[in-house]
Structure 1
Amino acid sequence: MQHIDPPSFDARDVYITCIGNARPRTRERLEAFTEAVADAAAVYEAAAHGQALHTLTGLAAQPSTLPDREALEGVYTDRMVRNHSPGRRIYEALRGTTDEAGRRRDNRCPLCGEGLVTTLDHHLPKNKYPLLSVVPVNLIPACRDCNTGKLATVPINAGDQTLHPYFDDFSHYPWLRARVRRPRGNEQLSVKFFVSPHPDWGDTLTERLRTHLKVFDLDYRYSLLVSSHIASTNHDLTIMPTNTIATWLAHKAEGWRYQGNPNTMGYALFKALASDEWYVNGGWRSPTAKANPN
């Protein structure tokens, strides 16, 4: 969950570029939607600024005929994504996975903060909002897990809206939290991730944060990732004095702030470990690990 700067591309220019090499009859048909696409982009941006994308039900109904809707969807799949298509350069710029020399960048998914960007996600799905198929601010760089997990989810009310990386920035407060789940029997220690909002945040924002975790299945995905971090940490703690463990874990958490953002899996994990008295006072030990009492 990382805020990123919105793209600077103009929606009308992007659409015109994408349809530029269409055959005359197809191009004429697609050109008829140019102003509708530009208007839809403006309506979308205003709604996104107001955290009101769930209100765009009228936009979802345009255009009304199935052939026109499919043609607009095809502008993305055939004229932006496809190699050597007129919009491919724009697609790659929006995705941002390579630099100007073609070298792969470490570009983390802003939706989950863990996966690497490999694709673009339609924040409002193109099959429900075909006029937004190639509108830049509706195209989010994303990892494949986030893109395929979200599918064609559409917000019905204000609380149903997932976070929008271009328009939402809640990085000033650590709302993503975790708590240790103590093992039972032969179970391994595990961690539960959840939302802990700022006291001044309203119910709608709190629900949006919870929706984001649910839609992208982040509690489950993070829980699969933390096992290796916990195992490595438990090994490190075998040579550390017990009275330094909590401080060391809290310091380690700070290293997981990505671009100053505390709402990362690692930050939540290590803050939870540092604050859990059971873990700090010996819960980290495996059956074979020996404590350092000094």
Structure 2
Amino acid sequence: MRRLEAPGIEARISFTTCISGARPTTRARLEAFEDAVAAASKEYEAAAKQQALHTLTHLASEPTGRQDRTSLKKVYKDRMVKETSPGRHIYETIRGATNKCPLCGEGVVTTLDHHLPSSAYPLLSVVPVNLVPACRDCNIGKGETQPAHASEQTLHPYFDDFSYHPWLCARVRRPRGNEPMSMEFFVAPHPDWNDTLTNRLRTHLRVFDLDYRYRQLVATHIAATNHDLRVTPIKDVSSWLTRKSEGWAHEGNPNTMGCALYRGLAADEWYANGGWRIQEADS
């Protein structure tokens, strides 16, 4: 969950560039949708700024023709993604905006994710503000998910910024039987936030399966931390972990996996008062 600047590429330019290499008859058919694509992009941006992309369901019915819808969807695959396609440089520019996936904050960017899926919104298939740099896990995990209600909207890196409050949290799951200690990631909303916003954050974690994915990543961090704590006095463990958490902030954003992990460890009395020794002995 990282904020990104929106691509400085107009939808009309992106669309006309992508279709520029098409055969004359195909290009003429696609050119007929140029104004519709530009209008859809403008409407999309206005809705995104109001956190209201769920209200754009009417765009899913445009255009009505099956062949036209298929042709518009292919503009992305055939005329933007392919190595030799005329729109490839636009694809690479958007993908290259960051190397860390803004949707999870951890994965390496390898592709672009359609925030509103092109299968349902073909007019938005090559609209830059609908294309988000993403890692493979986020792109595949999200699939064709689209919001029908306000609370079903995942966070949009170009338009949503909730980094001013630490809402991503983690808590220690103490060892049980032969199971080692683990962490659980969850949403702890600010008391001033309404239910819709809180549910959006929970939707984001659920859609991208972040609790599970983060739990798979933190084992090595915990092992390294346990090792470092050998030379740290017990009375200093909590403050040491708090400083470690602050070091994981990305441009001041407290909602990274690392920030949540170390805040959770620092807040757990069992772990900070020596529980980590049990964990280390079991590992």
1:134-213, aligned counterparts within 5 Å? 134-213=126-205
Which residue of the partner structure matches residue 67 of structure 1?
Answer: 67
Letter in 1 for 2:39: D
SS of the equivalent of 1:193 reads: strand
Q: Matches of 1:145 and 1:258 in 2, distance apart?
A: 21
- Partner Cα distance (2:9, 2:61) in 1: 25
- For 2:101, the equivalent position in structure 1 comes to 109
- Counterparts in 2 of 1:76-95, with a 5 A limit? 76-95=76-95
For the residue of structure 1 that corresponds to 2:171, the secondary structure is: strand
SS at match of 1:172: coil
CA distance in 2, matches of 1:175, 1:185: 31
Q: Post-superposition shift, 1:78? A: 0.3
Distance in 1 separating the partners of 2:237 and 2:184:
21
User: TM-score when scaled to structure 1?
Assistant: 0.94
Cα shift readout 1:184-220 (whole Å, capped 9, x = no counterpart)? 1111110000001111111100000000000000000
Partner of 1:121: 113
Aligned position for 2:4: 4
**Would you say 1:260 and 2:227 are equivalent positions?**
no
Shift of 1:288: 6.9
C-alpha distance in 2 between matches for 1:259 and 1:141: 18
Most deviating of 215-224 and 230-239 = 230-239
Residue type of the partner of 1:7? P
User: Which secondary structure state, in structure 2, belongs to the residue aligned with residue 177 of structure 1?
Assistant: strand
The aligned amino acid for 2:215 is S
**How far, CA to CA, are the matches of 1:246 and 1:161 in structure 2?**
36
Residue matched to 1:101: none
Post-superposition shift, 1:285? 1.1
* Residue pairs, 1:224-235, within 5 angstroms: 224-235=216-227
SS at match of 2:264: helix
Question: 2:48 maps to which residue?
Answer: 48
Q: State the identity as a percent.
A: 65
Q: Distance in 2 between matches of 1:59 and 1:71?
A: 16
Cα distance change on mapping 1:195 and 1:78 into 2, 3 Å: same
Amino acid at match of 1:262: P
- SS of the residue 2:277 aligns to: coil
Distance 1:160 1:241 in 2: 46
1:292 alignment counterpart: none
Identify the residue that residue 102 of structure 1 maps to in structure 2.
none
Letter in 1 for 2:152: D
Contact in 1 for aligned 2:226/2:280 (Cα 8 Å): no
Q: Report the Cα distance in structure 2 between the residues aligned to 1:231 and 1:66, rounded to whole angstroms.
A: 54
- Once residues 94 and 242 of structure 1 are traced to their aligned partners in structure 2, the CA distance between those partners, rounded to angstroms, is 47
- Runs of 4+ with deviation above 2 angstroms: 286-289
Query: Residues 68-121 of structure 1, C-alpha deviation per residue, up to 9 Å, x if partnerless?
Result: 101000000000000110000000000016xxxxxxxx7111000000111000
Say yes or no: does 1:283 pair with 2:250: no
> The residue matched to 1:84 in structure 2 has which SS?
coil
Q: Gaps spanning 5+ residues in structure 2: where? A: none
Query: Alpha carbons of 1:288 and 1:145: their partners in 2 closer, same or farther (altered >3 Å)?
Result: closer
Could you tell me which amino acid in structure 1 is paired with residue 258 of structure 2?
G
Report the counterpart of residue 100 of structure 1 in structure 2: none
Hey, what's the Cα distance between the residues in 2 that align with 1:130 and 1:52?
19
* Conservation of the 8 A alpha-carbon contact between 2:180 and 2:279: no
Structure in which a larger fraction of residues adopt helix: 2
Structure 1: gaps spanning 5 or more residues: 98-105, 290-294
Number of equivalenced pairs: 282
CA-based RMSD of the aligned residues comes to 1.3
CA shift at 1:286, angstroms?
A: 3.2
CA contact (8 A) 2:181 2:279 kept: no
Could you tell me which residue of structure 1 aligns to residue 21 of structure 2?
21
Deviation at 1:287, TM superposition (A): 6.9
For residues 66 and 190 of structure 1, the distance between their equivalents in structure 2, rounded to whole angstroms, comes to 49
Superposition deviation, residue 34 in structure 1:
0.3
1:238 aligns with 2:204: no
Q: Could you list the per-position Cα deviations for residues 234-253 of structure 1 after superposition, in whole angstroms to 9, with x for gaps in the alignment?
A: 11112221111111111100
